[in-house]
Amino acid sequence: MRLVPELVKPRLRAGEPELAGTLLHVLTQTLALAHPIMPFVTEEIYSYVPGADGLLAAGIPDAGEAGTDAAAEASVARLIEAVQALRTWRDQAGVRPGATLPARLAVSGGYEDTAEHLQRLARVAFAETEDGELPVASVPIQGGAVEIFASDELDLEAAGRKVAARREQLEAEIGRAERKLSNDGFVAKAPKDVVDGERDKLTRLREELAAL
């Protein structure tokens, strides 16, 4: 959920008093919830809130159901997943962090309200492409994919070498973990949390390899 604050930054810069008031309300309610387990930190933060009169005066917020919006939550969750997928791909491809790549949103739907955020947060630019122009890469997201087009910022050969090196490293680590877990002596004698940790590690390594 670290991406969520990024969604409102352009609106804050544009100056929306109602939005600022909503964010201030969310902050005070969050501080009230956290106060019982981290009182000194929350008191310090709350002292900077305009009109603050002691954190406990804010009271414990009532969860209720009136403020929930399942459709909005699903939309933002879909956006976050897509941004994370694109950022992971950019990192694997060795794309310069500040570079904006030409792309096309090839999905069946679900991003009508978030496509602008997706472009900004993942540093891609959706644009019409020439007939017959083919993407050089495709990043799967919910509902379809983001297709990436050729750019001076993208060195596919270097990206391929980087991915190949990471794949080789993962395969070696998976082999070591599999050999360790197939050793009856290790499984029988090692503490349970150590064995479970090794199994979790193996699962993560396999998932990363499958995603390359």
pLDDT at 163 over 60: yes
Question: Which pLDDT band holds residue 94 (cuts at 50, 70, 90)?
Answer: confident
Contacts of 126 (CB under 8 A, 6+ apart): 103, 104, 105, 115, 119
Top-confidence residue, 130 or 20: 20
- Best-predicted range by mean pLDDT (40-44, 53-57, 145-149): 145-149
Q: Residue 16: what pLDDT? A: 79
Q: What is the mean pLDDT of the chain?
A: 85
- Please state, in angstroms and rounded to a whole number, the distance separating the CA atoms of residues 88 and 166: 13
Distance, CA of 114 to chain centre: 14
pTM of the full predicted structure?
A: 0.66
Q: Which residue, 207, 205, 211, 212, is CA-closest to 173?
A: 205
Are 115 and 143 within 8 A, CB to CB? no
**Structure token digits, residue 133:** 């122009």
Mean pLDDT within 165-193 = 93
Mean pLDDT within 125-135 = 79
Question: Which pLDDT band holds residue 5 (cuts at 50, 70, 90)?
Answer: low
Question: Which pLDDT band holds residue 58 (cuts at 50, 70, 90)?
Answer: low
- Please state, in angstroms and rounded to a whole number, the distance separating the CA atoms of residues 140 and 108: 12
Alpha helix positions (H), the chain: 4-14, 17-34, 39-46, 70-93, 115-122, 156-181, 184-189, 192-211
pLDDT at 203 over 80: yes
| Most distant pair of Cα atoms in the chain: their distance | 65
Question: Which pLDDT band holds residue 1 (cuts at 50, 70, 90)?
Answer: very low
Mean pLDDT within 108-136 = 87
